[in-house]
Each structure stands twice: as C-alpha cells, then as structure tokens.
Structure 1
C-alpha cells in the first residue's frame, strides 16, 4: 500500500462543513489558504447528513465541499462516518446499540453508539462505505481514507456473546481446553456447554480473570475485524489510496501493534493538559510509541489549538505552547500536524472545544498562531519522511497490560503506564532517543532494552536470546508472573526469567500508600523507594542496591551469555532511577542526542536537531559547531537561548 510520502509536512484539521451554512464554506477555504493548511479531514460525523433516512443518499453537499477544497489546493482525508450512527439506526434497530457491563442497553443521542459485533450495524456501515468509495475514489482531492474514529467500543449484549463464543472456539478448540485455560476448577466455574459461556457481566464478586483477559483480546479483535472490513471495501475501489484510523492516545482498548499491521499509516489523537508542567514527557512517550508501531513517520490527526471541553477544568493553552507541542510531534516522527477542529462549533457537546478558527474569529491570538505554525511547517519540510534513530527500546505489550489491570493482584495501585513512565522520563531527561517494541520483536539493533513490566509472558526466548547475544536488559518488578492464560508460572518469580536475571523472588510485597524505604548502593548512591519491594534472593546475580533495613536486594545485575540483565525489585525515587539508568546507559554505550538542561527536549530526526523548551524561563543550550536554524533562519554557533516554549530546528553547516 502507498504511504503518504511526497516530501512535505501536511497541516490542517477536522473540517465539519455540515455544521455551517454553505455561504461560510468559501471563506473557510480562504482562511485555510491564509493559514497554510494543506489537508483537512472531512466526514467523520456526517452519517446522518449523508444518509438522513435508511437507504437514502444526500451527497450533493459533499460533492461541493470536495470540489471547493480541491479548487483551493487543499487535499482531503475522507472519513467513513461509521463511528457515530444516525438516530434512525438505533431507533429502528435497537439491537445495534451497545449493552454495558451492567446489562443496560445504551441509547443514541451521543456518539459511538454501536455494537461492533452487530451484523445489522455492519451491513448498514459497509453499504455506506461502499457508496462513498465508489463515488469519491477517483476524486482528485482524495489523499487518504480515515476509517471510523477512535475505535474502542465495547459491548456485552447477546449478539456479542455469540460472537465471543465463536472467537473462543477458534482460539481454544474445545470446552476442555477453555476450562483448562481459564482454570475453571476454581470456584466451581467449569463450563459444560458452549451456550453457558458469556462475556464478563456484573456478578456478585470477582470475575474469572482468564475470561476477562480473553474478552479483552476478543474486543480488540472485534474492532480490528470492524476496521479491516471497511478497509477491504475501500481497497477494492481504491487500492492506490492509503488507509488509516486514529488511535486514541495512550489507552488500552485494543492492541495497537495488531491494528498498525493492518493500516498503511499510523495516526494519533493527543490532548496534553496545559495545566500539567510535565505533560510534554507523556506527549513524547506517546509520539515515540506511534512512530514505533510501523517503524516510521505517522500522522498527528488530532490535537487542540487551545482549550478542550471534557476535563473538569479546561484552561486555554498559553501563547507559544501550540507551536512547541506541534514541533515536538514533528521532531518525533510526525509527517502531519492536524487539529480538532478547523472552526470551533457553535453548538453541540463540543462547542467549547477550541478550533483553528475560534469563536472570536480570525482576528485572534489563536488564529495568528495557527498561521505562524503553517509557515513553520513549510520551513520544516526537509524532515518529511525521515526517521528518528534510537539505540534504546522500551517494551510494551497490550496483552500483558490488560492482564496486569485485572483484579485480586498484590496491589490495586499497580499501573503499567506509570511504570513505563518511571523509566521513560529519565531517558527523556537524558536526551536519549527511544523506540517502543513488542517483547517478541527482533531487538538486536538496540544497545539497551527496558521492560518496565511484563506481567504476562508468552515466550521468554526473544528477550533471553537478545541478552545472551550481547544486549543489555533492564526489567522491572511484577514481571514473568503468569502465562498467556493468566495462570501463575510456578517455582518462584519471575519463573521464565530466573536464569536470565540470576535471582528468585519468593514473595511480592507491595508497600503502603505513604510507605518509603531507604536503599543503599556503593555505585548508585543512597536513594529512597516506594510502592513495592520484592522479597528476593540473588542466585548468581550481583547485588547493586539493597534495603538499608534488612539488606534485601532491590537492584541486581547478572551476566547472561555475552550480555547483561538488570532487575529492579522496587520503585526507586526519580533520582534513584536516574542514577541507575545513567550507569546502565554508560555500560551499554548509549550516548545522548545532546546534553541539555532539564525541561529542554533534544531530538534528532534525519539530519535535523530539534530543540524544544517546555519550561517557562529562558534557557541557554550549548550546541557544538555551527548550525542553520530552519525556523528562524539564523546561524547558531556554539550556543543559543530558547525562550518560553522556544523551538529550534538545526542543520549542521558543512565545512
């Protein structure tokens, strides 16, 4: 399939002309041209406008919109509007509406009100997709198909139950195998007939974890099936047009690795909180993940120009933050910078969500920043299609994430994403480029692999082979605990990695909410830790750090083959984790992109060194050599000063 790659960065946002009188449309195109907009997404929530009654088609307005945009030099990401069915579908076919965990059938009147397993919904959705593809497949404005919107729907209805049973038959083959996988001998849960098996639903107490894990897998596969059904219709008509669907931030409704394999380009919706001074770190984490899913450029499909409308309090972005966050995305691999939405809505549930054209109109700070960003992206065109090269990988597996969130674990406070951030943030501060990787991927190109948590492990061999062949691995606690069915691996934790790590955990010991322990280390210095402390003993591993009280090891280092494996059996303070990773990076031979002050981000994409100041004060950054700044046009020699939300894109001058 064709990727979007033509030597430029795309710029734009969701355009919803159906919300506005037609005489506004030409002015929209004028303003888009003024802002440097190249691309808009059209049709995401337009099903009821396109199909006002079952089987009818009202497409004349969409013809005029696409023609108008094309005449204005603006290309279109055309959406299949299947994420938000019209009221008539739910009214006439209530079986298409989702049922929640408590058995309540949800109503229409919002969005996302469909059951992914419903054949009636699928029939109507694919008929609409087929008509759109047939009508617009050759339209010169069409650049990409955008399937649905933020897939994540879950349903517990009887139709879903039958679909779930079909999926389980394919996965397990027999009821005996299912009973073994779910360990139904516990609590008298053995199934004797397939019809007895249902999705997880409200029950008196804890629900079988194997059932819940398989249901999470099933829901992911059902959404993937929904996506591929639409994609296949589109490809039948337009095999030359790439297809995407927008991922929904750092969430776990479906396996992004699996879905990314089925789309042509990854796209991402991201809304950092302007009130969070560390939001840029999580943004970088998400951007690195998106780039890693298909090992290349991705699209920032949605972000906000200023305030959103769905937090408890929705402050606007301060001046300059829009630019800093957008350049950050480009630095970490984005080949498109887009917003939700072009023109802020006058009504509806998202009327207070900001737009590229705010309620105040084009004579506003936000629109002036939008225009300036358009010019910046033209200047940054040389990075389009280029890569970010990383020598460190962070392992993230959705199945293990789902399993780690289940009930009745040593600590209900355990959070996989928090653990990922615990390790990612010091790497970010150190200016080290990071990829994300599946635990069963080929990791040989990385000098260092960090596994913050791998609670569930299918096959330990890839990680073990990586270390045995000379790699360096850092693994966090609560790893290697269960197999793919969420059954405990017996013999002492982490059973599949005991030889690799040279240790044995006898008991997992979560700490109290305010409990802090002191740790001592000759090489790392003293540090504190919280949340967790494994009761473990070394079996060949070198003890690098131990508890001051009791001497229990908390950080261990083990030679395995020609490589090194580290284990962290507690949650060190940020300073402790930073000291540990500084040593590991040095031993693994990993160098930073550039040594920068805290709050400044340094990323190299292709030949361009990006610097972004996310802090509130001016910062001086030392940059050896002479560089041209693509954004300011200035020559930078030796150092530069970045103001609040200041950015630079430096290309080294040839001698």
Structure 2
C-alpha cells in the first residue's frame, strides 16, 4: 500500500472521520428513502456502501441493464452530502445465471453442489462466472466513474466467506496450474508432499486432485497447498475486478472487506494488502466477558496488517447478530465502546451492517443502525451518540498507530496447520492461545502490537510467538537474528514443528527452534479433557504438556512440572544470549493466568505495566501524528476507573486526577508531542 489513498476527495486528511453502513435501499419502497437520508443526516452518516447484493436488479436478464433505481438513490445521497462506496455487486450472481450455467456452482469436498437460494453460489475459478462478473464491473465503472458521490469502489463482498473451498473440476484444473507454478516439476511436488507415504506418488500433473473426501486422513502437504491455492484463487478474482476498475477509473481508490477475525480464517489477508488502495475489515464481537479483549486483539492485528496506516471498518454490528446459537444484544454503551476501540487501533471509518434492519430475508434478525423498533429506540440513540463522538474525533483522522515495544506474532499458516486432523490432540487452538497471551499482557498493563508473521521485527524489544507451528527456514533465521541483536523471544508448545510443506523437522522438538531455545523435547504429552498437571509455580497445565529431556548449559529452568509422569521435569525455560537477548520456552498450555506469571517473572523493562492502564483495568491504545498523540483508554471492567492521564479530553470526562473512564466505556485524550 505504498500508494495509499483513502477516498477520491483526499479525505485521509484530518477532519473527515467516515461514518455509515451497508445501505440496501432496493429492499424498501421509494418513500422510505427520504426518511433514510433524514435519519442519516441526524446520525452524522457521511458514507454508505451501496449495491452490494443488487446484481439481480441491475441485470434482470442477460445483457439487459436497469440502472434507474441506482441512479436515483446515488443522486439523492449526493444531494444530502452522503458519499458512496459503490460495490461491484458481484457477490451473488442472479438466478438466471445459475439456470443457464449450472457449471458456475461450487462443489463441496464430497461433491455436493451448492445451489442458488443463499449467496456466493459461484466458483472462484469459473471462467464463465468471471466473464459475466467483469462485464458488470465494466458497466458500473463506465456509468458511475464520473459521479461525484462515488468516492471508492467496494469489490464484491466478503470474498470467500461461503465459497472459498470449491472442489469442482474448474478448481482441479486451476489447482494443477498453481502447483506447477509453485514447484516446477512433479518430482519437487512429490518430495514436498511426501507422496512415498501410502502410495501417493504422482507421475503426471493431471493425476492430482483437490483434497476431496477420501477414506481416511488426506495428505497434509496437499491440504496446506490447497488452502494456499484457495486463498490465492479468491485473491485472483479480486485482482481481476480491480484491474478493470483501475483501467477505467484510476482516480477512484478501491478496497474489499477482509474478515480478519471471522470464519474465513483460511484466507491469507496480509498477502492481499498490495491489491487494495486501503484495507477494510468486517468484525463481529464474540459474546462474553472476553469479547472486549477479543475485539481489541483483532482490531490490533487489522491495523498492523494495514501497516499502521488508517483502515476502514466496513462492517460490525450495532447490537445482536443472527448467526450464532444464541445472539444477545449489546448492552447500553457497548456500541460506542466497540467502535472507538477500532478507531484507537487505526480505523478512520466506522460502518455497520446494515443501515436499516431488514424486514425479510436471511438476515432480518441481524441488527441495524435503524432497528425494527425505528428511530425511537436505544440502538438509534446510541447511533446518534456515536456520530457525535466521531465528529469530536476529527483531529484523530489520518493519524497512525503508535508502535509498541512488545509484539505478538500472528501466523495464518500456523493457525491453519496446528488445527489439522491426525495431530497428537485436538485441544490446542491457535487463536485461543494467542488471545490468552494478549489478554495476559493487558492484565499487566502492557501495550502490545499484534503483527502478521511477515512484518518486520525491527524496533520491538519483545516478540511473543505462541504456537508458531509452521517454521520455514527463512522465519527461523529471522527469529535468530532478532535475538542475536538483543531481542527477547517468548514462544510456546507445538512451535517450530514443521517446515513450509508441513513436514516435521527432525532431531527432536521444538524442531527448527531447538538450537535457539536450547532445549530438546522428546515427545508431546497431551492431556485428556479432565486431566490437569500442576507446575511448581502453582500454574496448572491442561490440554498439552511436553517432555523436555535436554536443557543446554546456558538455559535456566524457570518452572517445573510438580506431579504426574513429568514430575520435576522442566516446564518453562529461558536461554540467555551473549548480546543480551533471550529465548523463553513454555512447554505447556497454562492459560491466561499462567502466562501472565511467566511474563511478569521475566523482569523485562518492556513488560513493565503502564501506569495509565490503572493496574491493567484499562486497555491503553495510542495513535499519533507529527503534532499530537491520541490515547484511547478502553475500560475492560464493569466499574468506573480513574486514569492518571493528562491532556485535552476529546471524548469523555476529565477528573481532578486524570480522566474518568465509565464502566465498559472509552475515553480519548490528546496531548502535544
């Protein structure tokens, strides 16, 4: 994103915080539209994403266009000072396409065809679908490229959310081409996949299929490459639409909404960043007391995927969603808190799905900015209050995230592979483990970045890399260089185990990290669901332990197992390096409380608590520009907290000794550099 652009009018400059929603006027009678824009103006809405699921109305029959309703609503929005992030409308094809071309429909791992009736019923590798989609994109660009209301392009919608994994013949052909480009020769592929096992050797490229349903465990290398391919296949569709738009409307920036924290975990979003002009993300809060920290974690990662540049929160919910087993509404104040936490982590736009809660369809119980109850409702009052808060935060717009001294390394491929079948246990969960370390840092009052594994490690004093399971040689070298330069690495069980082809590093675990950590693990000792093992420190292991059989002379044992078959064996170790760096290994799943104690015991200055966190009760988030620093204080508790922070209060209430952060609330303070 070296040529980062926010929207066409240059509003990456301070003073134009963006606020809005997905807007679906085609779901409503024309008389509702005037009421919509009236309420948008009351709420402070200044941008909407339009036309996302409108292909069937824009092209009711092949090659016949009806833009009349879209012309009218864009003109109406423009007349009321509301800009448009115009979607290419390719997220779901019209009914006539599937009837004429059933070969565009995706197929599941067992060969089941996914039929029309929902959304995203198309194969990412279908040449027929691609032809129709690009024809629509071209028509939209030619018609609206000069319209002053259109300030950005919204390519498709949540690419790969429901059709990422397609096992059709189209996918098989494209997968073979992808593999040929990756490996060059069939012998190199056989070596990477270890096809000597179970007589899986290939002689011809045409023998290779996607990892469809099979009698038992499928080849791990094949599975990993199919995940990579599927991410790239959807990315290729993004790039195809982007190329049309860049050719016809080069002055209008484009984006697509990532789903960094949602169910599309198998997309390598950091690799997509060069294909958009600014990063956008959809986020939906997980219910429960951990949800506040979970939201902060993923917003943090999104900001770092964006390289610290401002990004666009394209979707989140004003209250309840509709797709979990139980969908509780947000409590009073949470709408504002959640939005401002995203802003603290770099979002310069706060948008929702959707503007007006639907009356019909599969998402009619998903909350909107205007709920079924209408404008005289708690939700809409909170929507208006947020609009006011965002106006107060205009000076923040365009500023960048302030870099922390500590970083948690997040690796999509380790997330994919560590949760694979046929492993020692189904217990380890990569996302839960990384979140536990993040929450432990928050408990200690330590501000940390969550960075993608490909980001530079320069400038960080401490790297925390939980369950860094996939360890290509290049990553091993980068981690060694970090510690050799005086950095401190903390990693955990099930790290360093396999190379980039999911082949085990030999010689004992933790594989590629064995020499750096100075320990050798002879075998994994996963625990049954009811089992617990105590450590000498009082920490309790559950789910996973390991048998460390060798500790180097320069390695200190920080904790041991206290009972069971591993009694007195090392559990937590630390190797100190000559340049002042260190490498710490935690061989057990000891949960948030356990890792908090480990971090506190390392005695590193970068892990000292920030006084502004009020003992870990506040999540301290920072943005800044050349003139000022903006501190967001998000209350992690249900009690009022007074924080010793001095400055101009942009959002919130000042107190004699600092600022008052209400229960579950956010206060924003500006101070001069």
**SS state at 1:29 partner:** helix
Is 1:393 aligned to residue 401 of structure 2? no
Deviations 1:256-302 (CA, angstroms, capped at 9, x unpaired): 110123212111111114x4121011100110010000212211111
Report the CA distance between 1:455 and its aligned residue: 1.1
CA contact (8 A) 1:448 1:585 kept: no
Partner of 2:9: none
Q: Is this contact kept in 2: 1:444–1:471, CA < 8 A?
A: no
Structure 1 pair 613–441 and aligned structure 2 pair: CA distance change class (3 A): closer
Confirm or deny: 8 A CA contact 2:255 2:280 kept in the other structure. yes
Q: Deviations over 1:329-383 (max 9, x none)?
A: 1111111111100011111111111111111111111111111110110001111
Deviates more, 1:548-557 or 1:210-219: 548-557
Relative distance call for 1:479 and 1:9 in structure 2 (3 A) is same
| CA distance, structure 2, for counterparts of residue 119 and residue 413 of structure 1 | 41
CA contact (8 A) 1:49 1:58 kept: yes
The equivalent of 2:245 in structure 1 is 234
Assess if the C-alpha contact under 8 Å between 1:292 and 1:437 holds in 2: yes
Task: Spell out the pairing of 1:103-114 with structure 2 (5 A cutoff).
Answer: 103-114=111-122
Residue pair 1:593, 1:602 contacting (<8 A) in 2 also: no
Any idea what SS the aligned residue of 1:571 has? coil
Q: Secondary structure at the match of 2:379?
A: helix
Quote the residue 2:5 is aligned against. 3
Give the CA deviation at 1:443.
0.5
Matched with 2:429 is 415
2:460 paired with 1:452: no
Contact 2:617 2:641 in 1 (8 A): no
Distance in structure 2 (CA, Å) of the matches to 1:81 and 1:560: 55
In the alignment, the residues of structure 1 paired with residue 156 and residue 445 of structure 2 have an alpha-carbon distance, to the nearest angstrom, of 36
The residue that corresponds to 1:70 in the other structure is: 78
Tell me which of 215, 222, 247 is aligned to 2:233: 222
Q: Secondary structure at the match of 2:375?
A: coil
Q: CA deviation at 1:598?
A: 5.1
Q: Which deviations, in whole Å up to 9, do the C-alpha atoms of 1:452-503 show, x marking residues without a partner?
A: 0211111211111011011111011111111111111111112221221111
8 Å Cα contact 1:611/1:647 also seen in 2:
yes
- Structure 1 CA distance for aligned equivalents of residues 598 and 4 of structure 2: 43
Task: Determine the structure 1 residue equivalent to 2:621.
Answer: 603
1:287 aligned partner = 299
Moved more, 639-648 or 563-572: 639-648
Tell whether the 8 Å contact from 1:472 to 1:588 is kept in structure 2 after alignment.
no
Q: CA deviation at 1:592?
A: 2.7
> Of 517, 530, 544, which residue of structure 2 is paired with 1:532?
544
Displacement, 1:585? Answer: 6.3
Aligned match of 1:566 in 579, 584, 589? Answer: 584
Which of residues 83, 108, 128 in structure 1 aligns to 2:91? 83
Shift of the 545–587 alpha-carbon distance from structure 1 to 2, 3 Å rule, reads farther
Cα root mean square deviation, aligned: 1.7
Q: Distance in 1 between matches of 2:174 and 2:285?
A: 36
The equivalent residue for 1:142 is 150
**Contact 2:540–2:590 (Cα < 8 Å) also in 1:** yes
User: In the TM superposition, what is the alpha-carbon distance from 1:643 to its structure 2 partner?
Assistant: 3.0
What is the match of residue 159 of structure 2?
151
Q: CA deviation at 1:599?
A: 4.7
User: In the alignment, is the contact (CA less than 8 A) between 2:490 and 2:584 conserved in 1?
Assistant: yes
Which residue matches 1:406?
Answer: 420
Q: Pick from 470, 492, 497 the counterpart of residue 476 of structure 1.
A: 492
Q: Of 637, 640, 653, which aligns to 2:656?
A: 637
SS at 1:509's partner residue? strand
Give 1:2 deviation, angstroms. 4.3
**Whole-Å separation in 2 of the counterparts to 1:581 and 1:620:** 25
Per-residue deviation, 1:559: 1.7
Partner of 1:553: 570
Q: Distance in 2 between matches of 1:613 and 1:456?
A: 35
2:311–2:349 contact (8 Å) kept in structure 1? yes
Q: Is the 8 A contact 1:475 1:568 kept in 2?
A: yes
Structure 2 residue matching 1:603: 3-state secondary structure: strand
Please point out which of 129, 153, 160 is paired with 1:121: 129
- What secondary structure sits across from 1:594 in the alignment? helix
What is the TM-score of this pair, normalised by structure 2? 0.93
Q: Determine whether 1:264 maps to 2:277.
A: yes
In the alignment, the residues of structure 1 paired with residue 61 and residue 436 of structure 2 have an alpha-carbon distance, to the nearest angstrom, of 52
Superposition map of 1:454-533 within 5 A: 454-458=468-472, 459=474, 460-520=476-536, 525-533=537-545
Does residue 358 of structure 2 align to residue 336 of structure 1?
no
Moved more, 382-391 or 41-50: 382-391
Alignment correspondent of 2:207: 196
Which 5+ residue runs of structure 2 have no aligned equivalent?
Answer: 7-11
2:106 pairs with one of 98, 110, 113? 98
